[in-house]
Amino acid sequence: MQDSEIKIIDVKERILADNDRAAEEVRSRMKEKGVFLVNLMASPGAGKTTLLVRTIRALKDEYRIGVMEADVDSDVDAKTAAEAGAKVIQIHTGGSCHMDAEMTEKGIDEMGVDDVDIVFLENVGNLVCPAEFDVGANKRVMILSVPEGDDKPLKYPLMFQVSDVLLVNKVDTAQIFDFDFDMLRANVDRLHEGMPIIPLSAKTGDGFDGWIAWLKREVNAR
């Protein structure tokens, strides 16, 4: 067989195209329900759950909060979010390193969204796969923790390109880890110029008002 006769199928391209169509269906459904969906993405240990718990406590008197916890296994984070006052469902991804739109829709079906205003999807912890798959969220929120370093935009560019806001967590450790915020800003601007960067500490609460204010503006503007 000649090389010119070999048929090449780009499986990844087809998968992403199918996922994008499913994501638009999720977005349309959430719009009809009046629900704001947030895709929360970060590395393991960046502080997603701690930040989510403080966020739930800050918003629960004003908004009805739902949480979809995505993990390869366990329900530890789901229990923590439920104790904070959110309606929660645990999603086990069966070894997958990310959520996709179809998984998200199944999670929405199981949880039910008639009694919530905001749903947070705590995605599987890594900076690669979740960036590639649109889950139908209104906003993609990325958390970068200070111990991870200010060079992460250079190593994981797509995550910074697709995110709508960057939360820099654990700012109370900045001096210990010699974190350079100016360098981070410069690195981010090469990929996503002007993306909001909000330094905060989910542990101490420093800077948290800025995140809550940003989120409320986005929710109320939908």
For 135, which DSSP code?
-
Calpha distance 91→121 (Å, rounded): 10
CATH number of the CATH domain containing 80: 3.40.50.300
pLDDT of 120 higher than 70: yes
Weakest mean pLDDT among 4-18, 153-167, 181-195: 4-18
pLDDT of 109 higher than 60: yes
Pure H helices in 140-190: 152-155, 157-162, 174-177, 181-189
The pLDDT of 2-7, averaged and rounded, is 61
Q: Is residue 211 part of a domain?
A: yes
Pure H helices in 68-207: 76-84, 101-111, 129-132, 152-155, 157-162, 174-177, 181-189
The pLDDT of 202-218, averaged and rounded, is 97
Weakest mean pLDDT among 43-47, 73-77, 162-166, 183-187: 73-77
Taking a C-beta distance cutoff of 8 angstroms, is the pair 153, 188 a contact?
A: yes
pLDDT of 9 higher than 60: no
Q: Is residue 118 part of a domain?
A: yes
Q: Is residue 116 part of a domain?
A: yes
pLDDT of residue 75: 76
The pLDDT of 3-20, averaged and rounded, is 67
Q: Is residue 141 part of a domain?
A: yes
Q: Which two tokens stand for residue 165?
A: 């806001």
- Domain of 61 in residue numbering reads as 17-220
pLDDT of residue 139: 98
Using pLDDT thresholds of 50, 70 and 90, give the confidence band for residue 95. confident
Q: Is residue 95 part of a domain?
A: yes
pLDDT of 118 higher than 80: yes
- Between 189 and 75, whose confidence is greater? 189
Q: Is residue 188 part of a domain?
A: yes
Calpha distance 115→156 (Å, rounded): 36
The pLDDT of 109-122, averaged and rounded, is 96
Number of domains comprising the chain = 1
Distances in whole angstroms, Cα of residue 31 to Cα of each of 27, 38, 192, 222: 6, 13, 26, 9
Mean pLDDT score of the chain, rounded to an integer? 92
Q: Is residue 12 part of a domain?
A: no
Q: Which two tokens stand for residue 23?
A: 């994501």
Using pLDDT thresholds of 50, 70 and 90, give the confidence band for residue 13. low
pLDDT of residue 5: 74
Q: Is residue 127 part of a domain?
A: yes
